[in-house]
Amino acid sequence: MNTMSLSPLFRRSIGFDRLNDLFETAMQNDVPSYPPYNVEKYGENDYRIAVATAGFAEQELDVNVEKRVLTITAGKGERQQDDKVQYLHQGIAQRAFKLSFRLDENIEVQGARLENGLLIVDLLRVVPEEQRPRQIPINGGQGRLETQSADQTVAV
């Protein structure tokens, strides 16, 4: 069963049209297994992606954000192959890769660093003031809301 309808969820929600696209993308079977990575959450608004990048130099790694998609790519540059080396076992793959992560509209990339063979990308959820929870006053018995300015009273 590869198709799933989310239309029953939209009966009581408004503005989640893109949610269906997100689920379709998540249901695809082409989830990369290389390189290994962690998606970590610290506290309420701090996130981190740690990608195992053993054998890659900093200049061979690229981190980009475009249209709310974080893309991490790595490719081996022009390296001279040492003909004198014969691998008895080669467990460090060092092959090119591309990882993509869809970001929520309130997630910002704070920075990236290479640390102990891991590429670490720090993310932060920044919730704008207009999206934070707020109490809506109930004007008991009044049929309309009035706002006052210094010069006049305006009926809304």
More confident residue, 84 or 16: 84
User: At residue 48, what is the residue type?
Assistant: R
Query: Which of 141, 107, 136, 142 lies closest to 121 in space, CA to CA?
Result: 107
pLDDT-above-70 percentage for the chain: 66
pTM above 0.75, yes or no: no
d(CA 19, CA 87): 48
pLDDT at 145 over 70: no
Residue 5 lies in a domain: no
Report if residue 111 sits inside a domain. yes
What confidence category does residue 22 fall into, taking pLDDT thresholds of 50, 70 and 90? low
pLDDT of res. 93: 76
- Does residue 120 belong to any structural domain of this protein? yes
User: Does residue 4 belong to any structural domain of this protein?
Assistant: no
Give backbone dihedrals phi and psi of 22, rounded to 5 degrees, phi first.
Answer: -65, -45
Question: Ranked by mean pLDDT, which of 17-26, 95-104, 111-120 comes out on top?
Answer: 111-120
144 assigned to some structural domain: no
Q: Which domain does 57 fall in, by range? A: 34-128
Confidence of residue 34 (pLDDT cuts 50, 70, 90): confident
Q: Exposure of 94 by Cβ count < 10 A (0-12 exposed, 13-18 middle, 19+ buried)? A: middle
Burial of 144 from C-beta contacts in 10 A (0-12 / 13-18 / 19+): exposed
Residue 146 belongs to some domain of the structure? no
What pLDDT sits at residue 128?
84
Indicate the number of domains in the chain. Answer: 1
Within a domain: 124: yes
The pLDDT tens digits for 128-140 are 888 778 888 888 7
CATH code, domain with 80 = 2.60.40.790
Domain assignment present for 96? yes
Contact 38, 103 (CB under 8 A): no
